[in-house]
RNA sequence: GGGCGGUUAGCUCAGCGGUAGAGCAUCGUGUUGACAUCGCGAGGGUCACAGGUUCAAUCCCUGUACCGCCCA
């Protein structure tokens, strides 16, 4: 017996364990065609947030659906080592527990601590994915720092290096002073900052003139090596080619003409500091300028690159000062020297580290780079050719725009936690890139002719470097495994648009380079989760919703179904507790419907053949179920999770519960062949509902399936996905039942409008009804009585009983004798309104048909349709007119 | 500055050449037999604005306004 209400908290863990116990999540290379989704590996430090809940639900829906279709479904689980994030977590822990820094305990000990942390706390996210019902093939779980995946990383690095696609270069990088590491362009985000524009006068050599430069960064002026003006700027033309004397250091720097300088901005003259600004770096390259660094890796002033005159005491005093302090000191000194023209308030975009949140310092360093432009070419071609398709399509433009202008990818990080770069340096700095230290030593021996001590590069790789290999490294590459042959390329990648550049693009590049085939055929891009008001969720705003709270309160199925219902193409998802609460009602509805079935002896009848169903009600329901399955299937094929959810919802609640079960009620509990067929049909269709809803609501459906005896415990997850099947003459039963539904609806409408108490039963009289209609009325008399609160249903030939309400349904006029119950004036007013509506519609169609051009040019079937609509409206109006005249007296 | 998306019922959104829809909210009404986490019913929209194409535009095109996002 099903309990009175569904208790998710009780049922969910047991079902999940049950699925795992029967091996339901495991991919199974029997004969079936594979269907593969690679999980976007969550950070090992992560905990489940709404973004995960969204993306993982969608993936699980696809996986469960395909699995039920009989595909060999592999949903590959795993986590990402998340270099910076994890290192920070463990560093904080170290500080808290033993008040030590990682530098104090040293690299080796620190890494040991990270691994310890991972072993004890790293599994939280995977436990939470289980609560979400995610049917991942846990036996295959991988971690980006696993031995196998690390092998893949080394293999890729070494290979790309040999191909010249990975190389070292000294150029400007985005330096994160907080993490003391280089980061890639993608990890930098522009933030608007209110600052100042300082106008500083630089004396022109040999004159008493000045050139005034406007700058947002006075502290870097020690490293200026030019002043740039626009070549067309008349104001400065005569100064081009002359020299300015850089204040404070006294260095002689040229005034150069470069179109980088914008005459509209500031004074039109800009100071050029090639070692501390990306644009200035480009100017410096164009003009062959020196590039002294004046800030070190911690953002402090360094004077090592400067050739200072003995008098520059002020500048010397800056050595070692933080960039913020140095700015203050320099501005004060310029002020003192009378070289500060003015200070203008100025709002501008300042690059910040996306994780550290501190301003990025462009710094001239040597780093490892990957030639992304070269790798991007085949990836662009593959998307152009349709080998990989984005859904929705528009994201291809975003992908193309990024890939066609892709910059060298800085892949080295000055961190400890990550894949150590497989490069070793000889005493003379010669680099050996090899898979192992032994191979590096062998290479060194060959190079030097003797053994030499080697030093390994201390840096690690960008976390995204290993993520880029995920679609094949998880399958055993570089080994040539059967899994690799079977599950690569994957079918669908599901992710948010914020990850296209970081991950999708890089998987495309690496997949094509190393496997010669795209890593996935479809990239489904969903929106981002926001709060009910459309605000981005953030801790500082305090509007973060914890999916685990929602699961605790409403159950996993309600949350998952809500996610599906809200996921249309190209839209962000605005999710609040109210929506989840609403969908919990649907879970409850399904529960109660099943309970009702159970009470009425509805048990699965495996021998039931829908094609042989005879009763019109059964055929009507089976036909509607067919259409629902077709809709749901098409929606999932098209990644329309919202349409899928809506089709299942509508059918379950309205077709099955509101109409079918209501029609069936009196017969269900009885004996006899009609009742038996009804019960078998109900059981069959409930089974269809459970199967169609299972991907979205796995727990309640599986529980009902098991409890009601549809299959062995935990068998719904692998039950076959329903297929539409033949139903005898569906058109006829649809017409018949639709009429009954229309009639009951019309009567209910009028009764409600006329405020007839439900306890009042009235006869239903049909005037001008065809024999077909009276036949239907007779056949469905019992249902009509019950559902339209009628005492009888019969034709009316004679005069109208006094005090009747009249409703036009098709060709017939439905008469409700309500003498003494209704207000005839109100009924007359209602009929006038009805008539006006019909006439207005008729008028609209008439005008259209009166347009000769419409009749001549519109498609004939459209014209025909309008002609019959006109006739229908006119007939309705005439029948309402007749109804009015019948009560006129 | 460049690009993308949005603007439809009070709210969240679907529809995308010829009848404007759903859920929630609102209002009315109803209850001992699946379900008040419910049933039944009702009201509510010149589909942002201006032009254009078309026999016909919420839908296609152009422009404007506002909102959001991405890139510089």
Per-residue pLDDT tens over the stretch A472-485: 999 999 999 999 99
Q: How far apart are CA A228 and CA A281, in angstroms?
A: 12
C-alpha dihedral sign at A32, A489, A142, A544? negative
How far, rounded to the nearest angstrom, does the alpha carbon of residue A90 sit from its chain's CA centroid? 30
For A189-198, A534-543, A606-615, A851-860, which range has the lowest pLDDT when averaged over its residues?
Answer: A534-543
3-state secondary structure (DSSP) of residue A244: strand
- Record the pTM: 0.93
CA A194 – CA A182 distance, rounded (Å):
26
Distance CA A168, CA A147 (A): 26
CA of A765 to C1' of B43 (A): 29
Q: Is the pLDDT of residue A531 over 80?
A: no
At residue A224, the 3 state secondary structure works out as coil
Element holding A17 (H helix, E strand): helix A8-21
Interatomic CA–C1' length for residue A747 and nucleotide B29, angstroms: 15
* Weakest-pLDDT range from A306-315, A537-546, A688-697: A537-546
pLDDT computed for residue A585 by the predictor: 92
Q: How far, in Å, CA of A474 to CA of A152, rounded? A: 9
How many angstroms separate the CA of A540 from the C1' of B48? 33
pLDDT in tens, A803-856: 899 999 999 999 999 888 888 888 888 899 889 889 989 988 998 998 889 999
DSSP assignment of A420-459, as one string?
B--EEE-TT--EEE-SSHHHHHHHHHHHHSS----EE---
Residue nearest to nucleotide B6 (CA to C1'): A571
Residue A704 has pLDDT above 80, yes or no: yes
Residue A533: per-residue pLDDT: 67
pLDDT at A46: 83
Return the structure tokens found at A701: 């459906």
Extract long-range pairs of A828-833: CB within 8 Å, 24+ residues apart.
Answer: A828/A884, A828/A887, A830/A750, A830/A753, A830/A754, A830/A805, A831/A806, A831/A880, A831/A883, A831/A884, A831/A887, A832/A884
* Mean pLDDT estimate for chain A: 91
Q: What are the tens digits of pLDDT across the range A107-122?
A: 999 999 999 999 888 8
Strand B positions closer than 7 A to protein CB: 3-6, 11-15, 18-19, 22-24, 28-31, 34-35, 37-42, 54-56, 69-72
Sheet holding A520-526, edge to edge: A72-76, A34-38, A490-496, A520-526, A389-391
For A775, half-sphere exposure in the C-beta direction (CA atoms, 13 angstrom radius) is 4
The string of pLDDT tens digits covering residues A231-277 is 888 888 888 888 888 888 888 889 888 888 888 877 888 899 998 89
pLDDT digits (tens, 9 = 90+) for A502-517: 899 999 999 999 999 9
For residue A889, is pLDDT > 70?
no
Pairing of strands A389-391, A520-526: parallel
Best CA proximity match to A270, nearest among A345, A197, A343: A197
Q: Is A668 helix (H, G, I), strand (E, B) or coil?
A: helix
Q: Which two tokens stand for residue A644?
A: 């899928």
Q: What proportion of chain A, given as a percentage, has pLDDT over 70?
A: 99
Residue A597 has a pLDDT of: 95
Please tell me whether residue A189 adopts helix, strand or coil conformation. strand
Q: How far is the CA of A51 from the C1' of B35 (A)?
A: 33
Q: Which nucleotide is nearest to A741 (CA to C1')?
A: B40
The ipTM value here is 0.95
pLDDT digits (tens, 9 = 90+) for A736-757: 999 999 999 999 999 988 888 8
Residue with more model confidence, A146 or A310: A146
Backbone angles phi, psi at A324, to 5 degrees: -70, -45
What average pLDDT does this structure show over A38-59? Answer: 92
Edge-to-edge strands, sheet with A210-215: A210-215, A188-203, A340-353
**Which residue is closest to B40 in terms of CA–C1' distance?**
A748
Considering only CA atoms, name the residue closest to the C1' of nucleotide B70. A398
């Amino acid at each position: 017996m099903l309990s009175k209400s569904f208790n998710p908290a009780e049922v969910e863990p047991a079902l999940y364990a049950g699925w795992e116990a029967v091996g339901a999540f495991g991919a199974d290379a029997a004969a079936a065609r594979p269907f593969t989704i690679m999980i976007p590996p969550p950070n090992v430090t992560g905990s489940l947030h709404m973004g995960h809940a969204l993306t993982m639900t969608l993936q699980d829906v696809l996986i469960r659906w395909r699995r039920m279709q009989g595909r060999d479904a592999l949903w590959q689980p795993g986590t990402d080592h998340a270099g910076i994030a994890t290192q920070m977590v463990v560093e904080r822990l170290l500080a808290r527990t033993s008040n030590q820094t990682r530098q104090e305990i040293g690299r080796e000990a620190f890494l040991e601590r990270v691994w310890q942390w991972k072993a004890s706390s790293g599994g939280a996210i995977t436990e939470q994915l289980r609560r979400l019902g995610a049917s991942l093939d846990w036996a295959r779980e991988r971690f980006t720092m696993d031995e196998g995946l690390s092998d893949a990383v080394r293999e890729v690095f070494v290979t790309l290096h040999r191909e010249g696609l990975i190389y070292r270069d000294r150029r400007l990088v985005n330096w994160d002073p907080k993490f003391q590491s280089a980061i890639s362009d993608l990890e930098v985000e522009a933030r608007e900052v209110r600052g100042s524009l300082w106008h500083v006068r630089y004396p022109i050599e040999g004159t008493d003139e000045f050139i005034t430069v406007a700058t947002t960064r006075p502290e870097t002026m020690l490293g200026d090596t030019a002043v740039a003006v626009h070549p067309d700027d008349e104001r400065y033309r005569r100064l081009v080619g002359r020299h300015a004397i850089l204040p404070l250091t006294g260095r002689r720097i040229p005034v150069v003409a470069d179109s980088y300088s914008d005459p509209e901005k500031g004074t039109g003259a800009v100071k050029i500091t090639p070692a501390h600004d990306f644009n200035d770096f480009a100017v410096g390259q164009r003009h062959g300028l020196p590039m002294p660094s004046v800030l070190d890796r911690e953002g402090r002033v360094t004077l090592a690159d400067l050739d200072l005159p003995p008098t520059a005491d002020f500048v010397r005093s800056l050595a070692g000062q933080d960039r913020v302090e140095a700015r203050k000191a320099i501005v004060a000194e310029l002020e003192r020297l009378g070289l500060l023209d003015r200070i203008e308030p100025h709002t501008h975009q300042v690059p910040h580290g996306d994780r550290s949140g501190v301003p990025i310092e462009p710094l001239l360093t040597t780093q490892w780079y990957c030639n992304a432009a070269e790798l991007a070419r085949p990836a662009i071609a593959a998307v152009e050719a349709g080998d990989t398709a984005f859904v929705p399509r528009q994201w291809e433009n975003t992908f193309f725009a990024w890939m066609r202008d892709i910059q060298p990818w800085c892949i080295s990080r000055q961190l400890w936690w990550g894949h150590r770069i497989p490069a070793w340096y000889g005493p003379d700095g010669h680099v050996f890139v090899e898979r192992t230290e032994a191979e590096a030593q062998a290479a060194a021996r060959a190079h030097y002719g003797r053994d030499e001590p080697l030093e390994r590069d201390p840096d690690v790789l960008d976390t995204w470097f290993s993520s880029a290999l995920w679609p094949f490294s998880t399958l055993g590459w570089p080994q040539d495994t059967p899994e690799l042959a079977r599950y690569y390329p994957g079918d669908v990648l599901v992710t948010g648009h914020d990850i296209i550049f970081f991950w999708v693009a890089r998987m495309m590049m690496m997949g094509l380079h190393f496997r010669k085939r795209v890593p996935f055929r479809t990239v489904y891009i969903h929106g981002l989760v926001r709060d009910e008001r459309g605000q981005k969720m953030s801790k500082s705003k305090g509007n973060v919703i914890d999916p685990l709270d929602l699961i605790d309160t409403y159950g996993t199925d309600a949350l998952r179904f809500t996610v599906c219902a809200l996921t249309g193409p190209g839209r962000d998802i605005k999710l609040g507790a109210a929506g989840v609460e609403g969908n919990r009602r649907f879970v409850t509805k399904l529960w109660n419907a099943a309970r009702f079935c159970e009470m009425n002896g509805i048990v699965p009848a495996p021998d039931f053949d829908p094609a042989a169903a005879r009763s019109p009600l059964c055929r009507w329901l089976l036909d509607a179920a067919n259409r629902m399955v077709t809709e749901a299937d098409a929606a999932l094929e098209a990644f329309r999770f919202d349409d899928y959810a809506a089709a299942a919802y509508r059918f379950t609640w309205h077709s099955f519960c509101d109409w079918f079960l209501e029609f069936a009620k009196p017969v269900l509990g009885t004996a006899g062949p009609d009742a038996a067929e009804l019960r078998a049909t109900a059981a069959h269709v409930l089974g269809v509902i459970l199967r169609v809803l299972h991907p979205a609501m796995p727990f309640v459906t599986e529980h009902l399936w098991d409890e009601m005896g549809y299959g062995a415990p935990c068998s719904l997850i692998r039950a076959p996905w329903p297929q539409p099947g033949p139903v005898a003459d569906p058109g006829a039963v649809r017409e018949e039942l639709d009429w009954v539904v229309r009639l009951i609806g019309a009567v209910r409408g009028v009764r409600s409008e006329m405020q007839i108490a439900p306890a009042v039963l009235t006869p239903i009289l049909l005037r001008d009804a065809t024999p077909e209609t009276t036949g239907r009325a007779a056949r469905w008399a019992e249902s009509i009585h019950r559902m339209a609160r009628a005492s009888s249903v019969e034709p009316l030939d004679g005069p109208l009983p006094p005090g009747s309400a009249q409703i036009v349904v098709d060709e017939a006029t439905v008469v409700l004798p309500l003498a003494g119950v209704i207000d005839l004036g109100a009924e007359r007013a209602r009929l006038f309104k009805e008539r006006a509506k019909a006439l207005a519609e008729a008028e609209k169609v008439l005008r259209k048909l009166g347009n000769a051009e419409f009749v001549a040019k519109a498609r004939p079937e459209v014209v025909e349709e309008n002609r019959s609509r006109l006739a229908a409206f006119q007939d309705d109006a005439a029948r309402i007119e007749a109804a009015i005249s019948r009560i006129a007296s």
